[in-house]
Amino acid sequence: MMGKRHLFVGVFVFILVLAIIIVYFLLPRWNDNIGVFNISSKHEYKVDNSNYWIRIETLKIKAPITKNVDGENRKEYNDVLTRSLAHYKGSSLPDGNSNVFIFGHSSNDDDRGSYSNIFAKLNSLTKGDKITIFYGGKYYNYYVSEKKVVRSNDVSVLTQGDKKILTLMTCWPIGTKDKRLVVTATLDK
């Protein structure tokens, strides 16, 4: 009788441990299309757009991107940036052959919605960090190649050349609008 009881307890503990492992390690991968933006443990937002999004593992960011946002129309881009990151209108899309330009906020000085500080830790990226873009049913993996600060009126970062690159931009330093932090990443072929 004692042997059956030990066997039952052993099987029960095994199943419990197995369930914990499945929930902890595998469940988040099953939920991959939902995604979250998580800059700290208390900020989590669902990704609304499953067709175009970005994931930066090192910063714990996964967020939707709204394409073809007019960067010259302050009302339009501020509205978009309350609910997603923005793809600059006229820049390449990931399936194109040039510069994919994405921009977002880095501080929550104003009431700018859930994504007001999504790029607050962008400066923490280092050369070689992976950035994944999902677009048109495909994954595009980019690796950080450069990081620099430019003046707010420097439009050279929008240049469309013949290299498949990703450019991420936000205001810098955090809480100011004088300069821009620009991170450039190269597409993995």
pLDDT score at 108: 62
Alpha-helical runs (H) found in the chain: 2-21, 27-30, 74-80
pLDDT score at 40: 40
pLDDT score at 22: 57
Side-chain-side CA neighbours of residue 88 (13 Å): 21
23 is written with which tokens?
A: 């929930």
Residues facing residue 167 across a β-bridge:
101, 184
Cα–Cα–Cα angle for 60, 64, 68, rounded to 5 degrees = 135
pLDDT score at 21: 61
Mean pLDDT in order along the chain per 10 residues (189 residues): 70 72 46 39 44 93 92 89 91 96 80 74 96 95 97 92 95 88 94
pLDDT score at 116: 74
d(CA 149, CA 175): 15
Residues facing residue 65 across a β-bridge:
85
